[in-house]
Amino acid sequence: MQDELFAARDLTIALPGSQGSMIRIVENLSFSLAPREILGIVGESGSGKSMTALAIMGLIDVPGARITGSMLFKGQELVGLGARALRRLRGREIAMIFQDPMTALTPVHTIGWQIDEQIRAHESLSRAGARARTIDLLGEMGVPDPRRAADRYPHQLSGGLRQRAMIAMALSCNPSLLIADEPTTALDVTVQAQILDLLRRLRHNFGSSVLLITHDMGVVAETCDRTLVLYAGNVAERGPTGDIFAHPGHPYARALLASIPPLHGVRPSRLLSIPGQPPSPAERPAGCPFRPRCPQAHAQCEQTPPMVRRGEQDIACVLAAPEPVQA
């Protein structure tokens, strides 16, 4: 693997709970991201996906939050970095886009104005110069008639166009890492495909790596080079997307994939669902967090599961065989 753009090692995020206890939202998370790579982080709501993204950005402003472990970005340690230094990284080096571009854009300004501002916040450029860049960017994002679109307010644009504007704003300073937090959840399926297509093209046009956070396995399959399956703040499985979809090693990943309705053949009368609910971060069981819902749970699962390496996959399950099993 070529040298890493970003690497998280044993990242743990803990928020203060009631009576002075610390609740570990994300535990011992490790992953790395190569330049121009798209890494998908999949997990249910509450699995700690968005918290991870906010931690990378240094945007967790809950008083008393504790972030431990290490996050290296281009060789620079982000954990414990000062607010000012982090701010300088944000936008220029790491940018983030959000789920709902309606609420992520200021309602009182035109989108062109907002992108101009973003450019001018990082570079000393005249208003006209910034606007020219804005129009170029919007054009590259596939916004039809970008000159006119720049003069519109967020509420006058469709969801897809708003998300394109949001991405244009995020890319305005050529960040090397783009964090996309559920960028297509608020969009309908055809627009979703277009936006994912756009994200895939970014690495060629802008040389950016993308950290794609989603709960949608379909989005992952379509877009990501590698995938990280997160369950209750812990890594369940990580590896190349193709391998995970072909032969998932962790029972959770297997169950997730089995719950996608098949496109071909006989449709089951009932879709498979995983019994139970993910544990809340405060009452996570010791050992494997998936144990209470796992069909194959046994006594050994009460200890923290080892990371089993199988080909290029890492699987946090004692049952994972080192060699792929033919399904």
Partner 1 sequence: MSATHPATRRSGPWTTAMTTLLRDRAAMIALAGLLLIIAACVLAPVYAEDIAHTDPFQSDVAATVMVHGQELAVMQPNDNPLHLGLTPLAPTWHPSAYLLGADSQGRDVMARLLYGGRNSLLISAAATVLCILMAAFVGIVSGFFGGVVDAALSRLMDIMWAIPVYLFAISLSIVTISQGLRIGPFTIRSDNLLLPIGIIALVYVPYAARPIRGRVLTLRRSEFVLAARGLGVPRGRILLRDILPNVSSTLIVLAPLLMALAMLAESALSFLSIGVQAPAASWGTIIQDGQGLIYTRPMVAIAPGLAIVLTVLALNILGDGLRDALDVRETSRRRG
- Summarize as ranges the residues that interact with partner 1 (CB under 8 A): 57, 59, 87-92, 95-98, 100, 102-110, 117-118, 121-122, 149, 151-159, 161-162, 166, 169-170, 173, 179, 186
How many Å apart are CA 7 and CA 10, to the nearest integer? 10
Least distance in angstroms from the C-beta of 92 to partner 1: 6
- Report the residue number, 186 or 236, with the smaller CB distance to partner 1: 186
Q: Taking a C-beta distance cutoff of 8 angstroms, is the pair 251, 298 a contact?
A: no
Beta carbon of residue 98, minimum distance to partner 1 (angstroms, whole number): 6
Least distance from partner 1 to the Cβ atom of residue 60, Å: 11
Q: Report the sign of the C-alpha dihedral through residues 83, 89, 94, 98, in that order.
A: positive
Cα–Cα distance for residue pair 152/155, rounded to 1 Å: 8
CB of 70 to partner 1, least distance (A): 21
List the structure tokens of 268: 């089951």
Output the CA torsion sign for 30, 35, 41, 47.
Answer: positive
**Taking the complex as a whole, how short is the minimal distance between the CB of residue 220 and partner 1, in angstroms?**
22
Nearer to partner 1, 95 or 308 (CB): 95
Distance separating alpha carbons of residues 140 and 277, to the nearest angstrom? 42
* Identity of the residue, 113 or 231, whose beta carbon is nearer to partner 1 in the bound complex: 113
- The CB-of-135 to partner 1 minimum distance in angstroms stands at 16
* Three-state SS at 236: strand
Rounded Cα distance, 72 and 289, in Å: 27
Residue number, 88 or 201, with CB nearest to partner 1: 88
Residue 269 sits at φ, ψ, to 5 deg, of -65, -35
Q: Which is nearer to partner 1, 182 or 237 (CB)?
A: 182
Exposed / middle / buried, residue 325 (Cβ in 10 Å: 0-12, 13-18, 19+): exposed
User: Closer CB to partner 1, residue 165 or residue 301?
Assistant: 165
